[in-house]
Structure 1
């Protein structure tokens, strides 16, 4: 598959129209249509449903769209990294992170680097542990922050000197808000908004005494900000880390830790034998220096 053709395909998927896509690509509509028709013939799959007013993607086309975007992003990244490889003051650092307050530590390092090397740019993706490891393993990001439990055999890593504390986010008016800490029995009959990170890793099964999937899960999420609004409206409770949502002042929400206390270690990881760009090396050095104090 040629990267050029994948970019053609992505433009059509984005614009849902051959004419507009051709304009963004600075080519003719007839050439674009012909190139994609040949591409479909070559792979033996129909990717695009051609309508009179707009085009839509087939199931195979929707599958390819995600993969094509990953391929194009990786090619563009590689080209950019090679361009900046001999420079110690420019470049891009790609980071994926499970949702954690530990990002504040890394943000301090990013801020210091930016002040001294304004041409270094940071690109941050937030998602579940599975999404972070996928991006690491496919080379779409340079570093990842992973939450225990995690298999570290295929990564080099730094253990971060912070721990995340598990607890429950709830309405201030909830009866459980009167408690200093939440016990497993408190959550057995509650409506739960569950992070995919919690479900993927099964990290709370020991504390709960049951598989988290056995709870009354009414919604799942990747990031806590939108579910926090759902909790404000009375949808239920969410297991999450402390200090992700501001519950001070006039907030309608509150956070209560678990008892017995549940803490999780965090790791900055990167692929073993990874060839690092100057920007990546600088980021890792500054972080190590900060952790040494």
Structure 2
């Protein structure tokens, strides 16, 4: 399948109109229609159906949309890497990472490499371990930063110095705000919002089998969205300290006993890096070796 054909298909899917897509792509509508007919013949499936004036993807079209995004993303990354072979001042580095104050280590490494490569472009995708390792496996990113021990059979890794400590983000007018720290019994009857990964992997280290006594309001991947529910007195948020601060309607209190996580930078074994990604990895490794690891 031709990459440009897939790009054009995605534009139709995005706009829901052959006419709008043709205008956006600066080609004629008949040409675009012929391209999509050709693509459907190659695949042996209809990709769109008409609903009023709009084009809606079929189930097969939705499958192609997901695959096309992956194919184009990997193609663009490959082309970028080959262009970077002769680009000593720039290049692209793609990283998937969890939200954490320990990302400062990454930011400082990028800052250092920018002295050597002033035109470096750094692309960040945020998500939990399942999300970032999935796109790492697809080859769409160079590194993933995760908050649980890596699978050493699949990945090489660097341990990031320091730890993330858990806290609860609560409304500042909540009775819980009068507490210096929050125990399990203080929060067990409160609606809680947090990442599902942490609910499954981290809370048992804090409260053991009592985890299932908690009232779970819902799950999220990005902490900021959770703070909006806290401000509206709908739930309390469990997340890493440092991501939210007390004030502006919020109060932040540590959990008791303390709960903490380590972070790791991982990449696929036998992975081939672009020059820019290789430079960044060297700096991250040097920094990890220089700085003591705090438990």
* Distance of 1:133 and 1:214 partners within structure 2: 30
* Distance of 2:245 and 2:74 partners within structure 1: 36
User: 70-79 or 210-219: which moved more?
Assistant: 210-219
Offset from partner CA, 1:102-145 (integer Å, 9 cap, x none) = 11121111122224422211000001110011011111100110
- Displacement over 4 Å in runs of 4+: 211-214
Offset from partner CA, 1:133-192 (integer Å, 9 cap, x none) = 101111110011010244232111110001000121111222222222222222322111
Alignment of 1:46-195 (within 5 A): 46-51=46-51, 53-195=53-195
* Distance of 1:246 and 1:259 partners within structure 2: 18
Contact 1:16 1:56 in 2 (8 A): yes
Contact 1:165 1:242 in 2 (8 A): yes
Contact 1:128 1:196 in 2 (8 A): no
Aligned residue among 280, 284, 287 for 2:277: 280
Alignment of 1:157-236 (within 5 A): 157-199=157-199, 201-210=200-209, 212=211, 215-236=214-235
Provide the residue aligned with 1:35 in structure 2: 35
How much has 1:281 moved relative to structure 2? Answer: 1.1
C-alpha spacing 1:67/1:246, structure 2 compared with 1 (3 Å): farther
Contact 1:157 1:268 in 2 (8 A): yes
How much has 1:260 moved relative to structure 2? Answer: 1.8
* Distance of 1:216 and 1:64 partners within structure 2: 39
Offset from partner CA, 1:18-41 (integer Å, 9 cap, x none) = 122123333221121122123223
* Distance of 2:152 and 2:243 partners within structure 1: 25
Contact 1:8 1:25 in 2 (8 A): yes
SS at the partner of 1:259? coil
Provide the residue aligned with 1:255 in structure 2: 252
Alignment of 1:14-25 (within 5 A): 14-25=14-25
Contact 2:84 2:91 in 1 (8 A): yes
SS at the partner of 2:120? strand
Length, aligned pairs only: 290
* Distance of 2:149 and 2:113 partners within structure 1: 30
Contact 2:136 2:143 in 1 (8 A): yes
Structure 2 unaligned blocks of 5 or more? 291-295
Offset from partner CA, 1:257-289 (integer Å, 9 cap, x none) = 222211111101111101111101111112223
Contact 2:166 2:254 in 1 (8 A): yes
* Distance of 1:35 and 1:25 partners within structure 2: 13
User: 1-10 or 265-274: which moved more?
Assistant: 1-10
* Distance of 2:184 and 2:47 partners within structure 1: 49
Provide the residue aligned with 2:293 in structure 1: none
Contact 1:184 1:209 in 2 (8 A): no
How much has 1:243 moved relative to structure 2? Answer: 0.2
TM-score, normalising length from structure 1? 0.92
